[in-house]
A and B are shown apart, each in its own frame.
Chain A
Amino acid sequence: MIAEIGHIFLIIAFVLSLMQLITSIKVNFISFSELNYYALRKTNYIISLFLVFSFLSLILSYAISDFSVLNIYNNSHSNKPLIYKISGTWGNHEGSLLMWLAILGIYGFFLTLTTKKNSSNFTAKILFATNIVNVGFIGFTIFTSNPFTRISPIPSEGNGLNPVLQDPGLAFHPPLLYLGYVGLTVPFAYSIAALLDGKITRDWAKDIRPWILISWIFLTLGISLGSFWAYYELGWGGWWFWDPVENVSLLPWLLLTALLHSNRVTEKRDNLKSWTILLSIIAFSLTLLGTFIVRSGLLTSVHAFASDPARGIYILTFLFFITASALILYVIRHDKIENSEKFFLISKEGGLLLNNIFLCSSAITILLGTLWPLFVEAITGRDISVGAPYFNLVFLPIIMPAIFISGIIININWKGNSFELLYTKIGKAFTIFIFLLIAILFVYNGPTIFYLGIALSVWLLISILNDFLDKINSKLHKRKIKISKVFGIPISTYGMYVAHLGLAIFILGVAVSDSKKKYFEGVLKQGQTTKIYKYTITLQNVIEINQKNWIAERGEFLVKKDDKKITMKAERRIYLDTGMPSTEAAIYRNVFNHLYIVMGQQQPENSGKRIVRIYYNPFIVLIWLGAFFMAFGGIISILDRKRKKKYATFKN
C-alpha cells in the first residue's frame, strides 16, 4: 500500500514536470504571463514535495520489509538491523535514483524559494532548465529503473544486501555524494538561463556562488567519507584506489573546484565568464556521465551495457541531449558574453586562470584514463587495464604545480600586480620556505615524492600565514601588527584560509602515509609474533562469533609497544543472507597514525596458519582531517553575509 502511494507520487511528479516544461516553454519563448509564472513557481514546490514523499514511502517500505516490491526483495532481508534496512534503500540502482530525485526535489524547493526576489523573466529561464532535468531524471527512473515494481507471488524472504554495504558508511556516503552531484543542477540551470538571457553579470556570479559552495562542500565530504569507508571496510590498507567508481566522483569535484575559482573571478573581476559557464555545464554533464555509467555497470564490465540496453540508451540520449544543446546554446550566445577589458597575468585572476587550466587538464586526464579501456576494447577488441600506477604517474605532475601556484595566488592582489610587488609580497616567505625545506631535507629521508609533498604542504601553510600577517599589518607603521584588523578581513577570506589549510593537511597526510608506511604480509600461527615499526604483534587466538545476520572468525592480536599493551580484533565475516564474506580490519589509532591489521584465510587450508597483513600508516588520519577542513572552509565562506550589496553594472 505504501509502495503504491510512493509510485503514484512519482508518476504525479512526472506528469507535473511535463506540464511545467510546457508552461516554462510558453512563458519563456511564446508569451510571458504573470499567472503562468506564478503557477510555475507554485507547482515547483508541489513537485518537490511529491518527490520527497515518494522517496520516504520507499524508505518506509524497506523498513517494514515489503517483499512484494521487487527492488526490496532483491536488496533487503528481514534479519537485518533497521538502520541497514533503511540505508539499504539507496544501496542499489533504483533506490539510489529515487534518492537522487528526492534531493533534486529538495534543491528545487530551495531554488524556487531563493529566486523569489529575482526578476521573473530570469527565474522563468532557470525553471525551464531545471524542469528539463526533472523530466529527464524522473522519466529515467519511471521507465527504466522503477523502484516500485511489484512481484507476484510475494516472496517470504529477500535476497539480502551486499555485506560491504552493511555499514554506517552506506547511511552517509551516498546521500552526501548525491547532495553534491545534484547541487550542480543549480549552477547549470543558472548558466543556461544566463545564456538564454544573453548577459552574465557580477551579480549573477554572486548569486550562484553559495550553490557552487554547497555542492562542493557535500562532494568533498561525500568523497572523503567514501574514501574512509573503503579504507576500513575493504581491508586493502589504502584510501584511494583509482577505481573507475572513485574516478567519476573525483571528476566533478575537480571541475567544481575550478568552477568555484573561475566564478570568483567572474564575481570580483567581471571576467572568465566563459569558464564559469562552460565549467557549470560540463561539471553537470560529468555527474550524469559518472553516476549513470557506474550505475549501469558500463565501467566495471562493458557487457553489462548489453544486459539492459534500455537504460544505457536512455542515459546516452539524455546525456547527449543535455550536453549538446547546452553547448550549442553556448556557441550561439557566446558573443554576448562580455568580459572586462582588463586582465593582467601577474594577479590573482591570472593565477586562478593558470590553475584552472591545471585543474581542467587533470580532470581530462582522469576521464581519459577511466574511459580508455572502453575505447581500446571497442576498437581493437582487446582487454586492457588502466590503474593506479598510470594515474599516479600522470595526475601528480599536473596537480602539484597547481598546488604550488595556489600558494602564490593567496598572496597576490586582484587586478594588475607587477613582478616587483609580487616579490615584496612573497619574497621573504619564499626564502623562509627554502630554508625550511633544506632543514627538512637534512632531518628526514624519504623518496622524492615525499619531499615534494612536504614542500607543497609547508608552502601552503607559509603562504596562508604570510597573507594573514600582511593583511593585519598596519600599512602606516611598518611591521606593526594591528589586532583590530583581524576583524576587518572578510569572513570568506577566512573560509579560503581554512579550506587551503585543509589542503595542506591533506597533502601532508598523503605524503607521509604513503612514503613512511610499513607493511607486513605473512603467515602467522597462533602464538606467533611479528614486528612492525615499534609494535610487536602476536596472534593470540582465533574465536568464532555468531550474530543474528552474520558469523565470523575473529583473530585477536596482542599488540605491544614499549610498556603499552592492547588487543586488536580483526574479523572475517560471512553474511548469512547472501553467504558473502567480508573482512573487518582492526584499526588502532595513535594520534594521527593507524596500525591496521587484516586477517586472511588459513593457508594452507585447515592448517591453523593465517595469512595476516599489517600496515602501519603514519599520519593517515590527516587525509580525512584535511578534507574535513576543506569542507569546513567552504561552510565558513557560505556564512559570509556581507554579500547583500549589488555590484554596479559594468559598462564598457
Chain B
Amino acid sequence: MLIIKYYLILKLLLYPFLIFGVQEEAKIKKDLRSLLSELRCMVCQNQSLLDSDSDLANDMKKIIYEKLKEGKSKTEVKDFLVSRYGEFILFKPLFNKTNLLLWLGPILSFLIIGFVGFKKTRIKIKK
C-alpha cells in the first residue's frame, strides 16, 4: 500500500514533467506529419514522403524523426534535406527571386483580371 502511495505522490509531483514529455512527443509527431507531407518521395512519382512506403522514403522518415527528436527545427531539417537532395524535394517551393512570380502570380492575376474585367464592363453602381 505504502508503495502505491509513494508512487502516486511521486507521479503527482512529476505530473508537469510527464505531461511535458507527452506534449513534446505529440508536437514532434505533429511536426513530423506536416513536414513529411511537404516533402517529395524522391523515387516515386509525385508522391509525398508521408504517403509513400518505398524503402528510401521509410529511411528518410526515420532520419527526419530522429532529427526532430534531437531538437532540430522543421526548417533545419528541411535545409539539411535540400542540401542533400536539392530543392526538388520541396513540394512547397522556396520564396525566392526565382520563384517570385510563382508566389505573386495568384494575386497579380486576380488584380489584372479584376481590373480589366471591371474596366471593360462599364459598371454602374446605381440605377
Contacts and interface: CB of A to CB of B under 8 A. Distances in A.
- When A and B assemble into the complex, do they touch directly, with CB atoms less than 8 Å apart? yes
Interface stretch (A51-59, A66-74, A389-397, A620-628): A389-397
B53 A601 contact: yes
Given A274-B120, A385-B89, A603 B126 contact: no
A360 B105 CA distance: 12
Contacts of B47: 236, 241
Contact of A343 (B91, B105, B109, B121): B121
Interface string A256-280: 0000000000000001101100000
A332 interface: no
A369 interface: yes
A388 interface: yes
Interface in A394-431: 394, 397-398, 416, 418
A418 B109 contact: no
B93 A386 contact: yes
Interface stretch (B3-11, B16-24, B37-45, B66-74): B37-45
A301 to B, nearest CB: 9
Interface stretch (A149-157, A201-209, A350-358, A636-644): A350-358
B31 interface: no
A356 B40 CA distance: 33
Interface stretch (A221-229, A375-383, A458-466, A588-596): A375-383
Nearest to A244: B46
Interface string B76-99: 000000000011111111000011
A344 interface: yes
A389 B87 CA distance: 14
A300 B109 CA distance: 26
The size class of the interface chain A forms with chain B is: 35 or more
A360 B37 contact: no
A271 B122 CA distance: 11
Contacts, number: 125
B38 A368 contact: no
Contacts of A360: 109, 113
B51 interface: yes
A241 B46 contact: yes
Contacts of B98: 376, 380, 382
Contacts of A300: 45-46
B109 A364 contact: yes
Contacts of B109: 360-361, 364-365, 368
Contact of B40 (A272, A275, A346, A387): A387
Contacts of A393: 92
Contacts of A613: 53
A339 interface: yes
A372 B92 CA distance: 12
Contacts of A272: 121
Contact of A357 (B40, B102, B110): B110
Contact of B106 (A237, A241, A342, A364): A364
Given A272-B121, A343-B123, A382 B102 contact: no
Interface in B37-67: 37-38, 40, 45-48, 51, 53, 58
B82 to A, nearest CB: 10
Nearest to B112: A361
A344 B102 contact: no
Nearest to A398: B106
A383 B126 contact: no
A385 B53 CA distance: 20
Contacts of B89: 385
B87 A383 contact: yes
A197 interface: no
30 contacts: A236-B51, A244-B46, A272-B121, A274-B120, A300-B45, A343-B123, A343-B124, A344-B124, A344-B126, A345-B125, A357-B117, A362-B106, A368-B102, A368-B109, A372-B93, A382-B86, A382-B98, A385-B90, A385-B93, A386-B91, A387-B92, A388-B91, A389-B38, A389-B91, A390-B92, A393-B92, A394-B103, A398-B106, A416-B127, A611-B58
Closest 5 pairs between A and B when the two form their complex, measured CB to CB: A387-B91, A389-B92, A361-B110, A236-B51, A364-B109
Interface of B: 33, 37-38, 40, 45-48, 51, 53, 58, 86-93, 98-99, 101-103, 105-106, 109-110, 113-114, 117-118, 120-127
Given A380-B98, A601-B53, 7 more contacts: A238-B51, A272-B121, A357-B110, A368-B102, A368-B105, A382-B86, A416-B124
